[in-house]
Amino acid sequence: MNTAVDALNLVYEDDALIVLDKPAGLLAVPGRGPDKQDCLSARAQVRWPDALIVHRLDMATSGLVLMARGLAMQRALSMAFEKRRVHKRYTAVGAGRLANPDEGNGWQTIDLPLMIDWMNRPRSIVHHEMGKPSLTRWRLAADDQGAHGDIGTRLELEPVTGRTHQLRVHLQAIGHPIVGDPLYASEAQRAMAERLLLHAGWLTLPHPVSGDTLELHSPCPF
């Protein structure tokens, strides 16, 4: 029995793709060094040898990860991402109280260009001259006053673009870094939670074979 493989949380499976629910603290793909080889993709390939990564989640982020079954499906799904046919939605807790200026809680946008902070990798930064266009949509979560309401604001986030650490940097840039963030939150804000309070809980895409819309969910663990 392979405990790591048995522990995989399978959300969806067919001959074209699989969707797994990644726990916080697990790499999506191998890192550098022998101590960083255990990851979601390696565990998946034990069970599905043709499984190939299509996109990633940060190690500290939990939630839905899409993998392709074979090179042809990887190309098709990567093209769907490139053409923005794949949509993801996250739940996060931003430090402090954030009010939506729209009384109907409509989507708001954060439009700030981002680039890798090469002197402080793996961090990214807002850079208005050299950054790449980066757009995030946000609104208050329906259960904003529930769990963690005493330390922050529960949010729904939709990344329109897919830059490195985009959601984390954008929330920091507007003064509400994600609670528990080891890179972008203050020491006090990091200490408010045992993990980064960011979860990829909703994924929708056209199936690469049938064209039917797939809509997949993962309950938020915090």
Query: How many other CB atoms are there within 10 angstroms of residue 119's CB atom?
Result: 7
58 is annotated as an active-site residue = yes
Whether the bond between 122 and the residue before it is cis, its omega within 30 degrees of 0, is: yes
DSSP assignment of 95-126 equals ES----SSTT---EEEE--EEE-GGGTT-EEE
Tokens in use for 7?
Answer: 């522990």
Alpha-carbon distance 204 to 150, whole Å?
32
User: Torsion over CA of 145, 149, 152 and 156, rounded to 10 degrees?
Assistant: -40
Left, alpha or beta for 142 (phi > 0: left; psi -120 to 50: alpha)?
alpha
Task: Please identify which of the residues 58, 117, 181, 212 carries the catalytic annotation.
Answer: 58
Active-site amino acid positions = 58
